[in-house]
Structure 1
């Protein structure tokens, strides 16, 4: 039976999330652990090879061991932190299992929340291989370990993508030209609620008209639409050129079209 987490937005819209339980989270952790083990093995093999070639390192063996421990910790912590930060709340293991870390309100996990939840892995890993973390995930109503509790995060199953039944020739050509595909741009469920029917109609009109416009018209329309929509999706960036803004708007269209095409 699926366990759900419901969030009520200020607009009185209820967001439903499927919580990731111990089984799926454990499977993702096993995948990540295997990858980390391969990294550790490669590093240790390199160290052994280097030490055999450099006799002077033998004299400072204690310093070398301390350095290795520090580096191993950095790899362990950095792997989870960097992947979840740059991949929208997903490690390689979570990607394979279709999981994602989000805030309790359904929004994208912040850098601070990701930092906290991964820093507290030190405790969740005790006394061996995440025993404390597994016990907490098993018994907690929202399947949270200590890092999730303090960081204000939950781990959810991502919504499965659906394919559009109709193909819009000009739109799809523009998407292919810009080398875009579903999943490249991360928009949190909370940010999606900022998009109104009027916003969606504006974005849809834009992506359909853009390929038919002259260069100057494209730039003007892109700038106007970007100023309206990107702040709502927390994707604004004043340093972007018109062409880069157009790419970002098309990527946003790809991520939003399922909800609006299939659920209106």
Structure 2
């Protein structure tokens, strides 16, 4: 197994771009931050919706669905591949060729997130991520995406 996981990609302009795939721990920490933010958002909505009795229960289910399904997709597409958790850890989602992620790729990778959760709390996703040389989970394999570190200026 190689220690240097950097990937060199040549752009159409003939410039070499170096990407460093993010490992399981940094990805899990970023997901944990995003999970906490989603939980806080849902909690705030639920506090407000409790005053609407049965209507609040229905609206709460809709809010839960929307936040859990669209949080990652919206941030990844509209924020250059970075959710708040990824931004905090210096990560970004890109296509395998280094181009920015688009709607279809983000939808595919996030729909398969629920398969990665099987059998117990991301067990399959962790095994897939650890066994792939670029630390890809199933969603990344299907969507042709890669989570990479962002090079920060010194």
TM-score, shorter chain, exceeding 0.5? yes
Q: What do you get for the CA RMSD once the two structures are aligned?
A: 2.2
Shift of 1:49: 3.3
Task: After TM superposition, give the deviation of residue 147 of structure 1 in Å.
Answer: 1.0
Aligned 1:100-179 pairs, distance under 5 A: 100-162=92-154
User: Is 1:44 the equivalent of 2:46?
Assistant: yes
- What does residue range 85-96 of structure 1 map to in structure 2 within 5 Å? 85-96=77-88
Asked which structure has the greater RCO (Cα within 8 Å, sep 6+), the reply is 2
Q: Deviations over 1:16-66 (max 9, x none)?
A: 211100011011011111111111222232333332xxxxx3xx89xx45x
1-structure distance, mates of 2:151, 2:44: 36
Alpha-carbon deviation of 1:148?
A: 0.6
Unaligned runs of 5+ in 1: 52-56, 163-264
What do the CA deviations read for 1:62-100 (whole angstroms, capped 9, x no partner)?
Answer: xx45x5434312211211010111100000000000000
Partner of 1:33: 35
- Distance 1:46-1:161 versus aligned 2 partners, 3 A rule: same
- Distance (whole Å) between structure 2 residues aligned to residue 70 and residue 122 of structure 1: 18
User: Which structure has the larger Rg?
Assistant: 1
Instruction: Give the total of aligned pairs.
Output: 152
Bigger proportion of residues as helix: 1
